[in-house]
Amino acid sequence: SDLQKQEERGELLQPLIFVLLVLCSVLLYFKVSLMDPGFVKPEEEEGEDKGQSVVIPQIPGDIKLRRCGYCLVKQPMRAKHCQLCQHCVRRYDHHCPWLENCVGERNHPLFIVYLSVQLVVLLWGGHVAWSGLYFEQSWEWLQHNIFLLVSFLLIFIFSIVVLLLLVSHLYLISCNTTTWEFMSHHRISYLRHSELENPFDQGLILNLWRFFC
């Protein structure tokens, strides 16, 4: 049959890989959006002070951990309270409205993987949409191809957004900083009083290793 011939020629492999990537993207979306991003729990307060000086020795010693004015837990260094999630989040990056969840210490690496897979799916889908277009200057051609044109335009816009988001996050990760710290550097006490512009930066390789591994 035609299906068997296509399978023998390997023509079914690419659609299968594309479907698997889409499925992987959907599963990653739900995983990142539903998992604990690193909520600070009251029972974890004990021993927080001791761990800070080991991780970031460049921070002045007179900066003390403070209690959150909303949930009253002692905030570890780099944590921030999210008023939408009603929790303090460890190594808080940002609250993502598309995920309806914070991006923090626990789900940030998976968030990067999700963006990468999503970008591959979008670029592949854009290639498929573009390959299905053949251009003619006629109203009838426009009527028959309007769906493909709109699809390609939407895919192109989403691809640019995801690409910019992924590149910006990879840059911040390579510097060992977060979106919140980058945007609010002048308002964060442990950054404002530090002698270094970024006291967490330990070099590109070590920053990437500690983030992903």
Helix axes 108-131, 13-34, angle to 10 degrees: 150
Give every CB contact of residue 7 below 8 A, 6+ residues apart in sequence.
Answer: none
Exposure of 99 in the CB half-sphere (CA atoms within 13 A):
27
Catalytic position from the list 68, 71, 85, 96 = 96
CA proximity to 120, closest of 201, 23, 7, 13: 23
Instruction: Point out which residues pair with 101 in neighbouring strands.
Output: 96
Give the count of beta carbons closer than 10 Å to the beta carbon of residue 97: 8
96 catalytic? Reply is: yes
Single-letter residue type at 30: F
Positions marked active-site = 96
